[in-house]
C-alpha cells in the first residue's frame, strides 16, 4: 500500500517546499517508493479562519496568494486548509480574505480541515469541490463518532491513540483517517485542548503569545524528533508499516510553524531511505540556505 504524507507549511514554508518538491521530483532514488508527498497543509497567517499558532508581522498579501495557488496547481500537490479556529461563528463565515483564498484554491482533491460544524457546512454549501477533514484539535476519541464522521469525511485521529491497536481496529474506515506523526506533545497532554482554545482567541484578536507555551512539555522534547520518537505513542517508521497493514494510508507530519531544522527532520525521517538521510539533509540545507543553486 502507498502511504500518503501531508507535509506542513504550504504558505509559511512556501520557498522551502518548492525546493523540497523539486529535489523530490529530480531524485526519486533517495526516497521510499511506497511513500509519497500527497499534500501540504497550512493557511495564510492573519486570516481569522486559521487555527494553530498566532504569527505576528504577517500582512495579507493578495499577490502572494495567487502565486502560491498557481504553484501547487501546476505541481499537482493537494492543499489542505487549516480552518481550525475553534471559536468561529456564522458571522465569521463572511470574512472576505479567508473566502478569497479558499475560492482561488478550490479544486477536486483539495481539502478544508475544520473544527466546527459551521465551517463544515459553509464549505460544503459554498465550495463543494473540497473534501472535509475533521481536525485533531477536536480531540475526537469516541469510536462511534469517528465511524460516523468517516462515512462521508476524513478525521485526523487523536495522537495519543496511535499505538493502541485494540482501539484502532474498531475503526471501520481506516482509509478515511489520518495519523498525526512527529507530534511534539507528550502523550495525553492535559493542556492540549486549552492551548487550542487560547490560540483560537489569539487568531481572532491577533494577540501575541505571552509566557511559556506549554506547562507540560519541556523545550528539549518539543524540538528534538528523536526524543519524541521515544514516547509510547510515537509513530516510528516501523509503526508506519504496521498502520498501513491495518488499512491506514494517510499520515500527517506535524510542525507547520517550526523552524527549518525541526520542520525538515521529520520529512527526512519518514520519506528518505535510511542510507541517504544524512546526504539528503545536507543537500536540502545547502539549497534552502542558498549555499548552492536552490533548484
How does the average pLDDT of the chain come out, rounded?
91
Q: What is the pLDDT of residue 193?
A: 80
- Looking at per-residue pLDDT, the higher value among 214 and 123 belongs to 123
Q: What is the pLDDT of residue 61?
A: 81
Q: What is the pLDDT of residue 161?
A: 96
Q: What is the pTM of this model?
A: 0.94
Q: Is it the case that residue 208 has pLDDT exceeding 80? A: no
Give the relative orientation of helices 260-271 and 14-26 as an angle to the nearest 10 degrees: 30
- Looking at per-residue pLDDT, the higher value among 62 and 7 belongs to 7
Write out the three cell numbers for 51: 487555527
Write out the three cell numbers for 161: 491513540
**Could you tell me how many residues make up the chain?**
295
CB contact at 8 A, 121 and 93: no
CB contact at 8 A, 250 and 7: no
Question: Confidence band (pLDDT; 50, 70, 90) for 199?
Answer: confident
Domain 3-288, classified CATH 3.90.1750, yes or no:
no
Q: What is the pLDDT of residue 286?
A: 97
Q: What is the pLDDT of residues 65-97, one digit of tens each?
A: 999 999 999 999 999 999 999 999 999 999 999
Q: Is it the case that residue 214 has pLDDT exceeding 90? A: no
Torsions phi, psi for 57 (to 5 deg): 70, 25
Q: Is it the case that residue 215 has pLDDT exceeding 70? A: no
SS3 272: strand
Q: What is the pLDDT of residue 211?
A: 47
- Looking at per-residue pLDDT, the higher value among 206 and 173 belongs to 173
Question: Confidence band (pLDDT; 50, 70, 90) for 212?
Answer: very low
CB contact at 8 A, 77 and 39: yes
Q: What is the pLDDT of residue 126?
A: 98
Mean pLDDT of 183-189: 87
DSSP state of 251: E
Q: What is the pLDDT of residue 293?
A: 92
Q: What is the pLDDT of residue 221?
A: 62
Q: Is it the case that residue 194 has pLDDT exceeding 90? A: no
Q: What is the pLDDT of residue 266?
A: 97
Question: Confidence band (pLDDT; 50, 70, 90) for 217?
Answer: low
Q: What is the pLDDT of residues 232-271, one digit of tens each?
A: 999 999 999 999 999 999 999 998 878 899 999 999 999 9
Q: What is the pLDDT of residue 56?
A: 57
Question: Confidence band (pLDDT; 50, 70, 90) for 220?
Answer: low
CB contact at 8 A, 236 and 229: yes
Mean pLDDT of 108-115: 97
Largest Cα–Cα distance of the chain, in whole Å?
53
Inter-CA distances, 294 with 12, 181, 259, 280, 290, Å: 17, 27, 18, 13, 6
Q: Is 87 exposed, middle or buried (0-12, 13-18, 19+ CB in 10 A)?
A: middle
Q: Is it the case that residue 58 has pLDDT exceeding 80? A: no
Q: What is the pLDDT of residues 3-15, one digit of tens each?
A: 999 999 999 999 9
Amino acid at each position: 500500500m502507498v502511504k500518503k504524507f501531508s507535509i506542513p507549511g504550504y504558505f509559511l514554508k512556501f520557498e522551502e517546499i518548492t525546493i523540497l518538491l523539486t529535489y523530490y521530483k529530480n531524485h526519486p532514488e533517495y526516497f521510499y517508493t511506497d511513500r509519497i508527498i500527497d499534500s501540504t497543509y497550512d493557511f495564510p497567517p492573519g486570516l481569522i479562519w486559521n487555527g494553530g499558532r498566532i504569527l505576528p508581522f504577517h500582512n495579507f498579501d493578495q499577490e502572494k496568494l495567487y502565486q502560491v495557488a498557481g504553484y501547487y496547481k501546476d505541481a499537482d500537490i493537494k492543499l489542505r486548509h487549516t480552518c481550525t479556529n475553534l471559536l468561529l461563528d456564522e458571522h465569521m463565515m463572511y470574512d472576505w480574505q479567508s473566502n478569497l483564498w479558499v475560492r482561488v484554491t478550490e479544486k477536486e482533491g483539495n481539502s478544508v480541515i475544520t473544527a466546527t460544524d459551521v465551517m463544515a457546512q459553509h464549505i460544503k454549501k459554498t465550495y463543494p469541490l473540497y473534501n472535509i477533514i475533521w481536525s485533531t484539535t477536536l480531540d475526537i476519541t469516541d469510536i462511534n463518532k469517528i465511524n460516523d464522521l468517516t462515512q462521508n469525511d476524513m478525521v485526523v485521529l487523536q495522537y495519543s491513540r496511535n499505538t493502541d491497536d485494540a482501539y484502532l481496529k474498531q475503526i471501520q474506515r481506516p482509509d478515511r483517517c489520518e495519523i498525526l506523526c512527529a507530534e511534539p506533545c507528550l502523550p495525553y497532554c492535559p493542556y492540549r485542548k486549552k492551548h487550542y482554545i487560547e490560540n483560537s482567541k489569539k487568531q481572532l484578536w491577533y494577540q501575541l503569545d505571552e509566557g511559556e507555551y506549554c506547562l507540560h512539555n519541556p523545550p528539549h522534547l518539543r524540538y528534538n524528533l528523536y526524543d519524541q520518537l521515544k514516547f509510547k505513542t510515537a509513530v516510528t517508521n516501523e509503526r508506519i508499516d504496521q498502520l498501513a497493514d491495518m488499512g491506514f494510508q494517510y499520515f500527517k507530519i506535524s510542525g507547520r510553524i517550526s523552524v527549518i531544522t525541526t520542520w525538515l527532520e521529520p520529512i527526512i525521517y519518514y520519506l528518505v531511505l535510511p542510507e541517504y538521510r544524512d546526504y539528503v539533509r545536507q543537500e536540502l540545507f545547502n539549497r534552502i540556505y542558498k549555499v548552492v543553486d536552490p533548484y
